[in-house]
Structure 1
Amino acid sequence: MKRNSRIYIFSFGLLVLASCSLTKYVPDGSYLLDEVNVISNQKEVKTGSLKSYVRQNPNSKWFSLIKIPLYTYNLSGRDTSKWINRMWRRLGDAPVIYDESLNLRSQQELKKALNNIGYMGASVKSEKKISKKKLKLTYIVSPGKPYIVRNLKLDIKDSKINAILKEDSAATKLSKGMMFDINVLDAERQRIVNLLANKGYYKFNKEYITFTADTVRNTYQVDLTMHLNLYQATPQDEPKEHCQYKINKVSFITEYDVLQSSALSSIEINDSIHYKGFPIYYKDKLYLRPKILADNNFIQPNHLYNERSVQNTYSSFGRLSALKYTNIRFFDIQRADSGLLNCYVLLTKSKHKSVAFELEGTNTAGDLGAAASVSFQHRNLFKGSESFMIKLRGAYEAISGLQNYYGNNDNYTEYGIESSINFPRFMFPFLSDEFTRNIRATTEFGLKYSFQLRPEYSRTIASTSWSYKWARQKQKVQHRFDLLDISYIYLPWISTRFKEDYLNSANSIFKYNYDNHLIVRSGYNYYFNSIGGVMQNNTTASNSYSVRINFESAGNVLYGISKLIKQQKTSNGDYSILNIAYAQYIKGDLDFAKNVEIDKRNSLAFHAAVGIAYPYGNSTVLPLEKRYFSGGANSVRGWAVRTLGPGSYKGVDNNIDFMNQSGDIKLDLSMEYRSKLFWKLQGAAFVDAGNIWTIRNYETQPGGSFRLNRFYKEIAMAYGLGLRLDFDYFVLRFDGGMKALNPAYSSGKDRYPFLNPNFGRDFTFHFAVGYPF
C-alpha cells in the first residue's frame, strides 16, 4: 500500500507541475484558449454537428483528459538554437492563443449553419470566462422557430425531363411540411443530376436547377419553387431542351501511357482487330483476349449514355490484375438535333511477372528460429488477367529441452510449397455468359503442401481449395464461398516416448489430433463494412461499423455416402476413406465491431464476437486447427495466446497446456478508447472480456465444459494500455494487458488480480501488426 501511495502522490505532483506551466508561452495581454463549448437553448437542436463550424479550438487532449502535446511543447526552453528545445516543440503543440476575429467568424458560421437547416431567425452569442491567462469560451445558440415549406411547386421547362421526374417522383427528397433545409435542397439537386445521368443526359449539371423561396409575412412558412432551366451553351444562345446522348462507338486502346500526352494521336498503336463490333487497338501484340475486354465493358453502342454503366466499367476493369490504370473518355459528335458520343476505353498495362523474397524471424514459446520464402507471380497467365502464384518456403527453429528426450531430431524444420490461380470471373459448368458477366466474381483454385519434422514426430499436411469471391454495393458487402476445401494430415513417424507419454493416455483430444485425418469442408463468409472498400483502416477519425458472419460444415456428404453404401466402421468406431478417418462438424461465427468518433483525435471502439463449433457423426472431437483459443493480441490481452480456458481449466499443474487449452465455444468482448498522440503515434486504453468452453465434458479438461448456470462466472477480464504506429498502409501495435478477473480460481486474491495486482504474474506484452478489431 505504501508503494502504491507513493506512485499516486508522484503522479498527482506531475499533473500539478504540468498545469502550472500551461501558460508558459502565452504572451502578456493574451489568453490561452482553454475550452470551447457550444450549447443550445432549444433541445430540438443538437450541438454535436455544430462544433465543426467553430473556427478556433483549444489544444488537443490525450484520451480527452490531458493536454500532453501542450505540456510537451512547454518543456522546451526559449533558446531555439538548442536541439533539445527544437525537439520538444516539434513533438508538442504550441498554445492556442485566443483570437477575437476568429470568435466573430465562428459566430457567423454557426448562424449560417442554423440558417441552412431552416432556422432563419437564429442568433449566436459568445460568453468568455477568464481565469488568470486562460479563457473558456461558450457559444450560446438561440435557433428560434424553424421555417416550414407550406407549398411546393415544380417549374420544369424541359418536357422530356419533366416526364422522367414524374415517373421518379416517389424518390424526391422534397415535400410539403418539411423544414426549409438548404442541405436537403442541394441533395435533391444532386439526386436529379444522378437520375438524369443514367438517362442519357451527359452534359446536365446542378447549375440548371435553382430554387425560389417566398416567405409568408408574419409567419414561419415558405412557398418553395424548384426551377429546372433549359440548356444554353453560352448566355447569348437561344435556350433549348437538354440533349439526350447515345453511345455511337466504343473503342479499346490497350497501350495508353498516363505519363505521356493525353491526346489520342500521341498513343502508340500499330495494329487493330474488331470483336463483336468493338475496335481494339494495340501495339505489336495484344496482351488481353478480346472476349475479356468485351465482357468487362458495360458501355454499349446504340444505348443512351448511362453513368452507372461507366462506373461499372471502371470497377470491372479495376479488378483485372493485368491492368494498372483505366481511363474512359467521351467525345461529342453532334449530328442535327441528336447527340452522339464516341467512347474510348484507355488501358495501361501492369507489370505481369514478378519475383519476391521474404525473410522472417520466429519465436515459439522462447524457441527462436527463422524462415525464408521465394515466390513467383504472373498476373496474366492465359491472357485473361489470371493471377498465378507459386511459393517455396523453408523454416528452422531451435527447440530447447526435447532433443535427448524424444529422439534424434534436434530441432524443428519445415519445407513447403503452395500455389494458387485466380480467375477474374465466376467459373462453374453450365452457367450462361450473361450470368458470369454480371456477378463479377473471382474464382480461386489453390494447392498447398508442407512437411514438418520435430523431435516428437514428423507431419505432412496437404490441401486443395476451390472458392469464389464477389462484392456488391460499392464494396460495402463482400461474399466468399468455399465450394470445396480438402485438407489431409498425415504423420508418418511419431516418437515411441511421445506415444507413451501422451497418445496412450485417455486424452481424446491428443489422440485425435495425432492420428491421420481428412477434412472435406464447404463454407460461406459474409462481410459488411459501413464505410466500403476492401478493408478499411479502423482509425480514430471515422464513424463506422462492420459485421462478419462465417459458416462452415465438413464431412456431411462423405458421411451420407458411407451410410448409403453401408460402409463398415473402423475399430475406432468411425468411417474412413482409404483407412483415413474424416472429420464431421458444423461451425458458425458472428463478429461485430463499431467505431464511434468523439472528436478528431479520440474515438471509442467496441467489439463482440461469438463462435460455436459442434463435432458429431464421424467425430467426437474437433480437429485442432478448427478449435477455438483464447488470449493473445486479438483476444483477452491479459493472457498470452492460447493460455486462457476453457472455462475454469487451470492447465496441467497451473502450467500452460496448449493442446487442452482449446474449445468448441468462444466469446470475445472488447472496448477500446483510442487517441491520436503525435506524429504517427496513437494510444489506447482497453478492457477485454471473454473465454472459451467445450461442448462435451472431456476428462482432460476439468471445468472446461459450457454450463448455463456457471459460464458467466468463467468470463475472464483484462485491462491495459497500448501504443500504435499507424503508417496508413500498415500498423505496428504494442499492447500491455493486465489480468483483472481470473476464472481459473473460484475465490480469493488469485481470482481478482485487479484488487491485488502482481506485475510478474498478471502482465502480458503483445506485439502485433494491425488493429485488434
Structure 2
Amino acid sequence: MKYKISVHILCISVIAILVNTGCNSTKYLKEDEYLLRSNSVKLKSDKYVDHKGELTDNLSGVVAQKPNSYFLLPGFTYKLWLYNLRHDKYQQDTLNFQIESGTVEKPVIYDSSSTSRSQQYMESYLFQQGYFYAEVSDTTKFKKQKVYVEYQVNTGINYLIDKVDMTEIDDSTIAKFVRRRFYETNLRTGKAYSASLVEKERSRIVNMIRGEGYYYFSNENVAFVLDTMNKGYMKEKESAVETVAGFVSRKEDERRTLDIAIKITDNGNPKSFKRYGINNITIYPDFKDKGDLTDDNMMEKTVPGADKVVFRYHDYYIKEKVIYNHLFLSPETYFALEAHDKTITELNQLGVFSGVRIIFTEDSTRTGETGWMNCLVLMSPADKWNWGTNWEVSNGTTYTLGTGLTASVRNTNVAKGANLFTLSANGGLESQFDTSSGAFKIITNTLGLNASIELPKFLFPISRKRYSISNTPRTELAGGATRLERLNYFTLFNLSTRFTYKWLETKEKSWEVTPAFINNISLPPSKISAEFQQRLDTNDFLKNSYRETFIEGENISWTFDNSQDAKWYDDFSYIKLSFEEAGGVVAGVNSITKNLDNKFSQYVKFDFDLRHFIRQRHTTTALRFYGGVGIPYNKTQSPTLPYLKQYFVGGAYSMRGWRIRSLGPGGYVDTNSNPNLIDRTGDMKLELNGEYRFDIFKAFGGALLFNGAVFADAGNIWLFYPSADYDDGHFQFNKLYNHMAVNSGFGIRVDVAEIFLLRVDCGIPLKQPGTKEYPDKGIYSGWIVDRIAPFDGKWRGQNMIWSIAIGYPF
C-alpha cells in the first residue's frame, strides 16, 4: 500500500504542477492579448525533398517570433512561470537582472505581423537553398487566450547545377589558376544549388588566388551569374497554373537545372590583379604595443643563412631557431595565404604565445611588375606556468563512495625552446559505509606521480631534413610511478617510462609512434596479505595477473578526428586504431643473458575506438563502438596480460550500470560473499554505447547551460584463453549474446561558461551476463527488466549506480 500511495502522490504532484503552470501562463494577459504557445512547420512537395528533417529544423529557426522556453514538455514554460510568480516586481523593474540574463521570461504576446515576416523569411531562406518557387502559408488557431501557429511550406523543386562557365575572367593569369584547379570545385554537375554552396566556392577561389600572391584579391572580385533560361519548362513565379501541354511534356522525375558563370573582375581596384612578393620579415617574440615598431633600444638578431629575417625583442624570451623553424613565409617568394595561416597556426600551437598576428605593409623602395611587401610577425608571450585539476566522484554496488583527483602544473617554455614540461599528481579513494560503526571505511587508495617533456621537433635518430614542420612534429619523453593499495589485500607499485613521436598527417589525421616503453610492476611479498596470498595460490589467472613483471615494448596508433572545423549542424566522427607489442626484444636478449628469470611479459594488443556524432539544433546523438584484444603469445610463461594492460569495464566512462572493474569476465559468476576481493579484468573487451543529449535550459544569460541525456551501454570483458578459475569467462562467439551486459540510464550535465562540464549520470542494469543464477544470493542472469522497482529503497541502493565526473563519457 505504501508503494501505491507513493506512486499516486508522485503522479498527482506532476499533473498538478503542469496544470498549474499551464493555467498560470495567461494569468496577467489583457483581454485582447494572446500567448504564443507554439510554432510548427509542415513541409509538402510533389517531389522528394533532400534532408527533410534538417530543412524543417532550419525553417523553424528563422521564424520571427518564438514561444516561451519550456522544460522537457512543451506545456511546462518554467521561465514564464517564474516570471509570473513575481509579476508585479518585474513589471516595475523591466531591467531586472533575472530578465536580462534570461533566467525568467516575459510572456510572448502574439504579433500577427510577425507571422507575415516569418513567411517572408522562410521564402527567402528557401530561395537561397535553390527552391526558387517556394510558397509559404499559415494557419493560426486561437484557444483560451493562446495561439498555435502552423506554417505550411510548399517547397516546389530545387534546382540542380548543370554547367559551370569560366569564360568571364578578366585576367589571363588568374584564369589559368582557376582552370588548373577546377577539379577542386564545389559546383559539381547534378549537385543541388544553394547560396551557401556558391559562397563556399567563392571562398575557395579567393583563397586559391591569394595563395598565388594576389594579396589584395577578395570576395568582391568574384561574382556568380545564374542562368535558368532555355531549360525547356521554365515558368513565371506569378503563374499559378501550367498548360496541360507543358505538364505532359515534362518527365515526371525530371529535376530543374541551372548554369553558373564565374565572373572575376578587378572591381575597380587594379591592385587586386597584381602579385606581391615578400621582401623583409621582422619578428617580435615579446611584442608589447605599437611603440615597439619604432623603438631603437630593442635588441636585434638574425638567423644564419636568413639575413632578411630579423628578430627584435626586449628580453631573450625564446630561441630564434624555434620560431624560424615554424615560419612558413619566406623572403623573395610570393605571398601565400596558406603559408600565412599555417605560420599563425604553428606558432600558436607552440603554446608559448597568447596571440600571434601578421601584418603586411607595401615596400615602396622596390618597383616593377611585381609588388613587394614587408612582413611583421607580432607575438605576445603567454604565462609560462599554468595548472589544472580534474575531479571525479562515483559510487557502486561494492563501495559507497569513490573519488579521484588529478592536479597538474605545466611549464610551456623550458630552456627557451617551447618545450612543454608537465608534472602531475593523482590520488583516488574508494570507501564503504560500515553500518556497525556508522562511519566510512577506506578500502582502496591510489597515488601517482608523472612527469613528461614534449619538444616541438623530432629527436634522434630522425634528421630534420626528413620531415616537414607543417606536420607539427613532437617528441615526448615521459615517466611515472604509481602506488595502488587494496587495504588488507595487497599493494602494487608500477614504474613506467616511454619515448614517443607524434605528428599530423593532415588536419584530421594524426599518428603516435612509441619505439620503446617500459613498465616495471612489483608486488612486494611483505605487502600481500595472507588472505590474498591464499587466493593467489589457488587461482592461476590471478597469480599470473598479480606478479612481478617487466614489460618492454612498442606501440603505434592512428587517429582520425574531423570535429575541429565542424559547425553546429555538421555530423562528425572519431576513429582511433592502435597496435602494441611487448616482450619480443627482451625475450631475444634474455635467451642470451638469462638474467630475467622469465619475469617479463610477451603479448600483442589491438584496439579500436569508433565514434560518430549526429547533431541537430538542440540535440546530439552520440554513438561509440570500442573493442580490444590482447593475446599473450608465450602461453607457457604467462597465459594472461599483465594487470596494468588488462581491460575492464564499468564506472563513469564505460558501462555505467556497474561500478568500475566489477563486471565480467564473460559469463563468470562470483558467489564469494566478499566481492571486494579483486578487480574484474580480462584480455578482451567489446563495448557499444549510445547517448541522446538534449538541451534543457540556460541560466544567467547562458553562463550555465543545463543539458540532459538518456543512454544505453552494452558490453563485457573476456579472457583470451579458458581458465579453470573463471568458468565461462573466456570469449566464445556462440555465447556472445549471453555474455553481453546491458544497462540504460539518464544524466544531467552542467556546462559552466564553456570552461568545464560537470556530469551526473545514473546507470541501471537491464541485462546481466551469463546463464547461471543464485536467487538466494541475489544473483540473476539475462534480462532483469521485470525486477526494476524504482520505489523500493533496497533496489535503488543496489541497482541505481550514480557517478559524478568532469566532461562527457566519450
Q: Which moved more, 1:508-517 or 1:630-639?
A: 508-517
Distance 2:297 2:164 in 1: 56
Q: Which moved more, 1:380-389 or 1:540-549?
A: 540-549
Instruction: Note if 1:103 corresponds to 2:120.
Output: no
Gaps in structure 1 of 5+ consecutive residues: 234-238, 402-409, 569-576
Q: Which moved more, 1:756-765 or 1:26-35?
A: 26-35
Paired position in structure 2 for 1:700: 725
Paired position in structure 2 for 1:590: 608
Instruction: Note if 1:299 corresponds to 2:329.
Output: yes
For residues 229 and 179 of structure 1, do their structure 2 counterparts lie closer, same or farther at Cα, with a shift above 3 Å needed? same
Q: How big is the shift at 1:487?
A: 0.6
Distance 1:737 1:186 in 2: 46
Paired position in structure 2 for 1:765: 802
Cα deviation 1:715-739 (Å, max 9, x = unaligned): 2222222111212221111112222
Paired position in structure 2 for 1:407: none
Q: Which moved more, 1:411-420 or 1:303-312?
A: 411-420
What percentage of residue pairs aligned between the two structures are identical? Answer: 26
Query: Counterparts of 1:569-718 in structure 2 under 5 Å?
Result: 577-579=595-597, 581-600=599-618, 602-617=619-634, 618-653=637-672, 655-657=674-676, 659=678, 661-678=680-697, 679=699, 680=704, 681-718=706-743
Distance 1:130 1:442 in 2: 65
Query: Counterparts of 1:57-76 in structure 2 under 5 Å?
Result: 57-63=66-72, 67=76, 69-70=78-79, 72-73=81-82, 76=85
For residues 562 and 441 of structure 1, do their structure 2 counterparts lie closer, same or farther at Cα, with a shift above 3 Å needed? same
Out of 270, 275, 287, which is 1:244 matched to? Answer: 275
Distance 2:208 2:114 in 1: 41
Instruction: Note if 1:271 corresponds to 2:288.
Output: no
Paired position in structure 2 for 1:227: 263
The letter of the residue matching 1:492 is P
Query: Counterparts of 1:35-114 in structure 2 under 5 Å?
Result: 35-42=38-45, 43-45=47-49, 46=52, 47-48=55-56, 49-63=58-72, 67=76, 69-70=78-79, 72-73=81-82, 76-80=85-89, 91-114=103-126
Cα deviation 1:466-507 (Å, max 9, x = unaligned): 012223433x33322222110101233435752774355221
Cα deviation 1:536-583 (Å, max 9, x = unaligned): 9x9x986433222222221123234445x4x76xxxxxxxx4336111
| SS of equivalent to 2:331 | coil
Distance 1:255 1:443 in 2: 25
Query: Counterparts of 1:294-693 in structure 2 under 5 Å?
Result: 294-334=324-364, 335-352=367-384, 354=385, 377-390=410-423, 417-433=449-465, 435-450=467-482, 456-474=489-507, 476-494=508-526, 497-498=529-530, 501-502=533-534, 505-532=537-564, 543-562=571-590, 565=592, 577-579=595-597, 581-600=599-618, 602-617=619-634, 618-653=637-672, 655-657=674-676, 659=678, 661-678=680-697, 679=699, 680=704, 681-693=706-718
| SS of equivalent to 1:550 | strand
Conserved 8 A contact 1:355-1:374: no
The letter of the residue matching 2:273 is H
Conserved 8 A contact 1:722-1:736: yes
Distance 2:164 2:388 in 1: 67
Distance 1:163 1:358 in 2: 55
Distance 1:473 1:426 in 2: 17
Conserved 8 A contact 2:490-2:529: no
Query: Counterparts of 1:196-235 in structure 2 under 5 Å?
Result: 196-213=209-226, 215-216=228-229, 219-220=233-234, 224-230=260-266, 232-233=268-269
Distance 2:266 2:388 in 1: 62
Query: Counterparts of 1:129-140 in structure 2 under 5 Å?
Result: 129-140=141-152
For residues 746 and 542 of structure 1, do their structure 2 counterparts lie closer, same or farther at Cα, with a shift above 3 Å needed? farther
Paired position in structure 1 for 2:33: 30
Conserved 8 A contact 2:37-2:148: yes
The letter of the residue matching 1:635 is S
Q: How big is the shift at 1:207?
A: 0.7
Q: Which moved more, 1:673-682 or 1:292-301?
A: 673-682
Cα deviation 1:687-726 (Å, max 9, x = unaligned): 2222222222222222322222222022222222211121
The letter of the residue matching 2:153 is V
Q: How big is the shift at 1:5?
A: 5.0
The letter of the residue matching 2:33 is S
Distance 2:659 2:346 in 1: 44
Cα deviation 1:198-237 (Å, max 9, x = unaligned): 111111011112234455378427564332113633xxxx
Conserved 8 A contact 1:418-1:447: yes
Out of 172, 180, 204, which is 1:159 matched to? Answer: 172
Conserved 8 A contact 2:210-2:217: yes
| SS of equivalent to 2:223 | strand
Q: Which moved more, 1:212-221 or 1:246-255?
A: 212-221
Conserved 8 A contact 2:489-2:677: no
Distance 1:71 1:650 in 2: 53
For residues 2 and 559 of structure 1, do their structure 2 counterparts lie closer, same or farther at Cα, with a shift above 3 Å needed? same
Distance 1:28 1:212 in 2: 53
After superposition, the CA RMSD in angstroms is 3.8
Answer 1 or 2: higher relative contact order, Cα 8 Å, separation at least 6: 2
Distance 1:486 1:638 in 2: 34
For residues 482 and 27 of structure 1, do their structure 2 counterparts lie closer, same or farther at Cα, with a shift above 3 Å needed? farther
Q: How big is the shift at 1:244?
A: 0.8
Paired position in structure 2 for 1:571: none
The letter of the residue matching 1:594 is H
Cα deviation 1:375-432 (Å, max 9, x = unaligned): 764433333212234567789999999xxxxxxxx99887765432211112231524
The letter of the residue matching 1:730 is F
For residues 71 and 623 of structure 1, do their structure 2 counterparts lie closer, same or farther at Cα, with a shift above 3 Å needed? farther
Distance 2:27 2:296 in 1: 63
Cα deviation 1:311-359 (Å, max 9, x = unaligned): 111122112233332221111125233211111222223333x486979
The letter of the residue matching 2:152 is I
Q: How big is the shift at 1:620?
A: 0.7
| SS of equivalent to 2:317 | coil
Paired position in structure 1 for 2:744: 719
Distance 2:112 2:432 in 1: 69
Distance 1:267 1:687 in 2: 66
For residues 634 and 654 of structure 1, do their structure 2 counterparts lie closer, same or farther at Cα, with a shift above 3 Å needed? farther
For residues 13 and 393 of structure 1, do their structure 2 counterparts lie closer, same or farther at Cα, with a shift above 3 Å needed? closer
Cα deviation 1:412-463 (Å, max 9, x = unaligned): 8877654322111122315243515343211011122356676555544221
Distance 1:123 1:197 in 2: 41
Instruction: Note if 1:142 corresponds to 2:174.
Output: no
| SS of equivalent to 1:380 | strand
Paired position in structure 2 for 1:254: 285
Conserved 8 A contact 2:24-2:81: no
The letter of the residue matching 2:748 is L
For residues 375 and 479 of structure 1, do their structure 2 counterparts lie closer, same or farther at Cα, with a shift above 3 Å needed? same
